[in-house]
Every structure is written in structure tokens, then in C-alpha cells.
Amino acid sequence: MIAGKKENEMIIKKRNKTELEQFEALLSRLRPDHPKIRELESDFARRKKGYIGEKQVDYFLDELAAEMTILQDLNLSVDGKNMQIDNLLISRQAAYIVEVKNYSGTILFDTELQQFTRDDGSREKGFRHPIQQAELQKQRLQAWLQEMNLPPIPIYCFIAVSDPSTIIKVEGEREHIARVVSHAAYIPGKIKSQADAMTGNAPIQHQKLGATILRACKQARHLPVLRYGIQTQDILPGVHCPACRYLGMERIYGTWLCPKCNRKSKVAHKRALLDYFLLVNPTINNADCMQFLGISSATIANRLFKSMNLTYIKENRRWTLSKRSVVK
Ligand SMILES: [Zn+2]
């Protein structure tokens, strides 16, 4: 990276691992007979792979950060429904949605049959058409702007194929597909030439619009727990043993003891409280903590909060994580 680039960088929302951490926490605490476990496991594996692909694409889109406002991994609520966008870039001329796709092997767009298939060497499989999906997102984003009483802006969508070894094939109108789909390395060039081709429209105040979207995004914060219809009572409380993963360590003389393997830990509650913040509630009080960790004293709960350097919220007498918190 060039020195000094960071100063005018405008990636105002960075991709993070929160969703993956939520999946991980959920899988470690969901009651073992829950009907959604298999679905969660396969979605978690897919999301993990997706995250790696998205990071690969970030590397290329970074070069546009000096001139555009970029938001990664957006969640917006439109018409009561959640909308997720991998990347949104806003320039003075337009907004660009860049969706990331991980496909191994060969992908084929058939423009006549409106069909999209992938062949990974062993079998051919049909998928939801990525361009139609992206077009739908574009319409939803326009709808969101309207909901927010913001003026409409030109929106373009692109599909970034994250794995450079994926072979992209087209049957039919090649140009039509090539305008939208390519390997990640070529997406910045496509966005730039699209931007250069546009002149004459009133310039968009992209920083201001980006900030508005970011605020809305924070309100739409969602948990995968809700998406799968998981109830709080399906999430098992307790402290995991760091050695054998047994859920149900006991607090004895200021330390955690595993009744199964006899391992002791001074810090095992930290993981448990992080799980609580990820899955149940971003804030906690003494009673919640006593229930979740299985301890009988509010004094201990308080001591644990302080030892983790959690922040106290006076208004509702609850505690929450902050940058200063000690979580490891
Ligand atoms: Zn153990």
C-alpha cells in the first residue's frame, strides 16, 4: 500500500467477522436436538468460504477508496425485509453494487435460456441467476432511497468472481454478460469506465449519502438467530471447558472447574459472556449473568464485569463491551 493513502481512504464500513462469530457461538450452544442444526452447519461453512472470497475482492476494490465512499457488507431494511449487499461504492456520478460470487470450476451464462450453471468437474448444477439477483438488489436499494425520501441516483451492478481460476463462459450475448460479470481484478476498471462515461448529472454528495446509509445500517443490525427462528430458550447457558468443550464448568474458589476433565480456568467466563453478547443481548446485568454463567452471587458477576473492563451504562444499569474491554 502507498504511504499516505490511508488519510483519504473512504471505506466507512468495513467487513467484519461478527456474523461468523455468531454462527460459531450458536453452534456451540444450540441444544443438540434442534431441527436447524444441519442447516446452520452448512450455511456456516458456506459463509466462511464466502468471507474469504469477499476479502479477496476487497483487495482490488480498495484502489477506488481514494475517490469513492465504500461500504462493505451492508444490511438495510427495505419494506420490512432485510437486504444484504456485499459492497456498495458511491462516486460523484453513481452508486455501484458489487456482489461477490465463489464458484469453482466453470460457470456458464446462457443469455438465450436465461440460465446459469456451474460445472465443478463432477456435476453440473443450476443456480439462481446472479445477474437477476443483483438487479433485484438494485431495485431494492432504489426503493430504500425512496423510503428515506432521498433522490434517486443511477445504480449499476457488477458480479465479481472471487476465485481467479474460475472459468467464465457465455453462450449468447457475450458483451451483455461481460459488462456486468468478471474476475475481481477487472471490476475497478469496469467501474471507472462506467463513471467516466457519465457526465452531466448533478454530482452526488457521496460522503453524506454514505453516512446516511451507515446510520440506517446500524439500526438494521440483525442476528442469524432470528433468521433461523431460534428462540432464546434453545440457546444453552453455561461456561465451556477450554480443554474438553464440556458445557457446565463450575465456579469454585475464584476459578472455573470442569467436572468432566478436572481442568481449571481463570478466564473461561470470557468466552461465555462474548457468546451472550453475540447471541442474546449486546448488554447484560447481574441477574442475566448469574443465570447465564450459573453462578449464585451478584458480587461475583460484578467482579467479572470489572475484570473484563466492560462499560457500565447508568441509564439501564447494564454492562456492555467497548474497545477497552479485555476479551481474551
Ligand atoms: Zn473439561
Residue with cell 479477496: 56
Confidence class for position 222, pLDDT limits 50, 70, 90: low
Q: Find the 210 Cα to ligand 1 centroid distance in Å.
A: 48
- Return d(Cα 190, Cα 179) in angstroms, integer: 8
Helix (H) or strand (E) holding 206: helix 206-219
Q: Find the 107 Cα to ligand 1 centroid distance in Å.
A: 47
Average pLDDT for residues 235-259, to the nearest whole number?
A: 96
Cβ-contact 101, 181 below 8 angstroms:
no
123 pLDDT higher than 90: no
Q: Find the 39 Cα to ligand 1 centroid distance in Å.
A: 28
Q: What is the mean pLDDT of the chain?
A: 91
Confidence class for position 104, pLDDT limits 50, 70, 90: confident
The domains of the chain are located at: 5-225, 237-320
Q: Find the 247 Cα to ligand 1 centroid distance in Å.
A: 8
Looking at residue 4, what is its pLDDT?
Answer: 41
221 pLDDT higher than 80: no
**CA Rg value for the chain:** 23
What confidence tens digit (pLDDT) does each residue in 152-174 have? 999 999 999 999 999 999 999 99
231 pLDDT higher than 90: no
CB within 8 Å of 222: residues ≥ 6 apart: 75, 82
Q: Find the 238 Cα to ligand 1 centroid distance in Å.
A: 13
Q: Find the 307 Cα to ligand 1 centroid distance in Å.
A: 23
Which of helix, strand or coil describes residue 174?
helix
What is the 3-class SS of 103-145, one letter each residue? Answer: CCCEEEEECCCCEEEEECCCCEEECCCHHHHHHHHHHHHHHHH
- Return d(Cα 195, Cα 230) in angstroms, integer: 44
Q: Find the 5 Cα to ligand 1 centroid distance in Å.
A: 48
Looking at residue 2, what is its pLDDT?
Answer: 42
What confidence tens digit (pLDDT) does each residue in 274-302 have? 999 999 999 999 999 999 999 999 999 99
Q: Find the 291 Cα to ligand 1 centroid distance in Å.
A: 21
Q: Find the 272 Cα to ligand 1 centroid distance in Å.
A: 15
| pTM (two decimals) | 0.83
CA distances from 24 to 18, 121, 200, 242 (A): 10, 31, 49, 15
CA nearest to 74, candidates 62, 64, 83: 83
Helix (H) or strand (E) holding 81: strand 81-90
Confidence class for position 233, pLDDT limits 50, 70, 90: confident
Q: Find the 28 Cα to ligand 1 centroid distance in Å.
A: 14
In whole angstroms, what separates CA 24 from the centre of its chain?
Answer: 13
Average pLDDT for residues 46-75, to the nearest whole number?
A: 94
For 319, phi then psi, to 5°, come to: -115, 150
Confidence class for position 124, pLDDT limits 50, 70, 90: confident
In whole angstroms, what separates CA 293 from the centre of its chain?
Answer: 28
> Quick one: what percent of the chain has pLDDT higher than 70?
95
Looking at residue 223, what is its pLDDT?
Answer: 67
- Return d(Cα 324, Cα 311) in angstroms, integer: 8
